[in-house]
């Protein structure tokens, strides 16, 4: 178990994780479709998506060919940026959505404003507001909900199952940290020798707290560039890093061998957990 812990790759959608902690409950929209959000879609020929995490989940599940348009927060994968835009997820226009003649609209729980949501429903369009549950297990439930809207596929089943295993590994790490919280560093990206690290008041810090870990970089607020000397002094036990921001460090071994991390406990034990955009 120790070896598997050292080399574990946490395979999660990064836009899902990093939007996860900024979401505010938008219960008014969820109530419109209570109990129906995760049912099979009637017509999936022209999908409009409102929310970057939903877009990434659909790509992740292999159903992207039916997406007609996305909102401005849908920045990954790169292909999604080429699709027509319906505006910002919390400030959509009725005209922008309806002009695309969608067969179904799938949105995050903060999709809005409420008047736009109500108008979409009044037009008889199949609208799904995907519930947001602010726990690690909630990530799996969110992806599983989106998956349930689409026809079953072997690829989607495989990826949902793989994600379930990754969530299980997160739970193991979380449970093991009780009473002896691990010192964790969350890195958004690596530029040169100064990674961008999560301090207090960041989504990364919230993620660490939900895992019952300790943010080793809690002596400053926001996301900041941190040099090698300070990273060595902080000496994190675990380093969480986005796959997109790892800049060529595509394995725990490469990260462990780099001058940036090589003198940390995380490098010595190869405990680098990737927040990945893709699950392969």
Mean pLDDT by 10 residues, the chain (280 residues): 35 43 40 71 96 89 95 85 93 94 95 94 94 74 90 82 74 74 88 89 78 89 94 93 73 88 92 53
| pLDDT at residue 134, as a whole number | 63
| pLDDT at residue 155, as a whole number | 82
| pLDDT at residue 275, as a whole number | 59
| pLDDT at residue 65, as a whole number | 95
CATH class of the domain at 14-149: alpha beta
**Can you tell me the distance from the alpha carbon of 184 to that of 7, in angstroms, rounded to the nearest whole number?**
16
**Can you tell me the distance from the alpha carbon of 280 to that of 277, in angstroms, rounded to the nearest whole number?**
10
Domain 177-275 has CATH 3.40.50.1220: no
| pLDDT at residue 232, as a whole number | 96
| pLDDT at residue 276, as a whole number | 45
Provide the terminal-to-terminal Cα distance of the chain, rounded to the nearest Å: 23
**Can you tell me the distance from the alpha carbon of 211 to that of 136, in angstroms, rounded to the nearest whole number?**
8
| pLDDT at residue 243, as a whole number | 67
| pLDDT at residue 85, as a whole number | 95
154-176 vs 136-149: helix axis angle to the nearest 10?
170
| pLDDT at residue 212, as a whole number | 76
Q: Where in the chain is the domain with CATH 3.40.50.1980?
A: 14-149, 177-275
Among candidates 33, 59, 34, 210, which has minimal Cα distance to 139?
210
């Amino acid at each position: 178990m120790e070896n598997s812990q050292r080399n574990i790759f946490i395979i999660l959608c990064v836009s899902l994780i990093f939007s996860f902690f900024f979401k505010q409950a938008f219960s008014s929209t969820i109530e419109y479709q209570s109990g129906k959000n995760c049912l099979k879609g009637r017509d999936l020929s022209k999908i409009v998506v409102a929310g970057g995490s939903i877009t990434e989940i659909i790509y992740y599940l292999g159903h992207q060919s039916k997406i007609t348009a996305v909102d401005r927060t849908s920045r990954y994968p790169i292909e999604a940026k080429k699709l027509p835009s319906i505006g910002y997820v919390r400030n959509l226009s009725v005209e922008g959505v309806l002009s695309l003649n969608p067969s179904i609209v799938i949105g995050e729980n903060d999709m809005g404003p409420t008047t736009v949501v109500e108008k979409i429903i009044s037009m008889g369009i199949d609208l799904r507001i995907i519930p947001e549950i602010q726990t690690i297990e909630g990530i799996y439930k969110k992806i599983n909900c989106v998956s349930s809207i689409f026809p079953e596929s072997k690829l989607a089943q495989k990826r949902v199952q793989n994600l379930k295993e990754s969530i299980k590994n997160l739970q193991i790490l979380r449970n093991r940290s009780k009473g002896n919280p691990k010192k964790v560093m969350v890195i958004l990206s690596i530029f040169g020798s100064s990674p961008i690290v999560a301090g207090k008041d960041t989504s990364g810090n919230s993620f660490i707290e939900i895992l019952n870990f300790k943010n080793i970089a809690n002596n400053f607020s926001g996301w900041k560039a941190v040099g090698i000397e300070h990273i060595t002094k902080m000496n994190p036990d675990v380093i969480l890093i986005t796959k997109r921001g790892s800049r060529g460090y595509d394995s725990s071994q490469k990260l462990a061998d780099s001058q940036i991390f090589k003198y940390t406990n995380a490098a010595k034990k190869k405990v680098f957990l990737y927040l990945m955009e893709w699950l392969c």
